[in-house]
Amino acid sequence: MRIVVCESPDQVAMVAADESIEYLGLACSSSSQSQETSVLGLATGSTPLGLYQQWIKRHRAGEISFRNIVSFNLDEYCGVPPEDPQSYHYFMQENLFKHIDILPLNTHIPKTDCQDLPASAEAYEIAIAQAGGIDLQILGIGTEGHIGFNELGSSLSSATRVKTLTSKTRQDNARFFASMDQVPKMAITMGLGTIMNARAILLLATGVHKADTIRDTVEGPVTAMVPASILQFHPNATVVIDQAAASKLAHLDYYLECERNQQSL
Ligand code: F6R
């Protein structure tokens, strides 16, 4: 795992924007701008908002384009229709899609407004494979180490499926709802196996409330009790965090030295 420690959440967003733009060849002026489609995995929640604002700003400045991007979001709540302001469909529309030039037909979010949720999850997994798999997956992380909604105990090789949210996740996400009763109990989420199949991963975390889970993810044993720890097995996973989220890492000095040495190559 590559660990990049930034001075502030703003710098996390900037580094994540630079890394993703380069990896996906989004820059309009770049000779590396791909005419081929790239597949981008997206997350919701508070953490990626700074990155999305960076993308929007650079798109408005004419620097980057999402014309050749196909996107797949990690997850969607069950029981929240797409037009509901609490849905992840609505979140993505408001916070990213309507501000950039991605083609609406190229955006995908798990469908939960249907009768057969397991079939919908299965169809989503197939759609990702048919698109050629995910090139770059953006991730946030829950305070108990979930990625997507792969809660503790998730199979380390799971596919997209319906998952029950833990009470901690429901409490953490209650800030977006009028009352705890309204926080959904289930979601369709990409699995840990789905995420691990991505060719590259960018996990973002900010704030001292993420420090324990970042330590467990990066330095703890690989265990389904900290689902994000599976990323230790990924050959191309980068963790971009601010100093607060990095504050409990035992080997912080070493990670900083690795970055300095990489930049001198
Ligand atoms: C969101 C998602 C979740 C969040 C995580 C962190 O699509 O899959 O795993 O990334 O719950 O949420 P925030 O960023 O709000 O702390």
9-24 and 49-60 are packed helices; what angle lies between their axes, rounded to 10 degrees?
Answer: 60
What Cα–Cα distance (Å) separates residue 251 from each residue in 142, 146, 217, 218?
A: 22, 22, 13, 10
Distance 149 CA to ligand 1 centre (A): 8
User: Which residues form the domain of 230?
Assistant: 2-264
Q: Say if CB 170 and CB 185 are below 8 A apart.
A: yes
Residue 77: is its pLDDT beyond 80?
A: yes
Q: How many domains does the chain contain in total?
A: 1
Rounded to an integer, the average pLDDT of 94-120 is 98
Please report which confidence band the pLDDT of residue 119 belongs to, taking 50, 70 and 90 as the band edges.
very high
Please report which confidence band the pLDDT of residue 10 belongs to, taking 50, 70 and 90 as the band edges.
very high
pTM of full prediction above 0.95: yes
Read off the tokens for 255: 């990670």
Ligand 1: residue of 44, 88, 90, 242 to mutate (most ligand atoms within 8 A of CB) is 44
Distance 142 CA to ligand 1 centre (A): 6
CATH of the domain at 150: 3.40.50.1360
Instruction: Specify the ligand 1 atom closest to the Cα of 88.
Output: 7
Write out pLDDT tens, residues 106-117.
999 999 999 999
Instruction: Indicate the residue type of 176.
Output: F
- What's the confidence (pLDDT) of residue 35? 73
Rounded to an integer, the average pLDDT of 134-151 is 98
- What's the confidence (pLDDT) of residue 151? 98
43 lines ligand 1 (CB under 6 A): yes
Distance 45 CA to ligand 1 centre (A): 5
Distance 265 CA to ligand 1 centre (A): 34
Q: List beta partners, residue 200.
A: 136
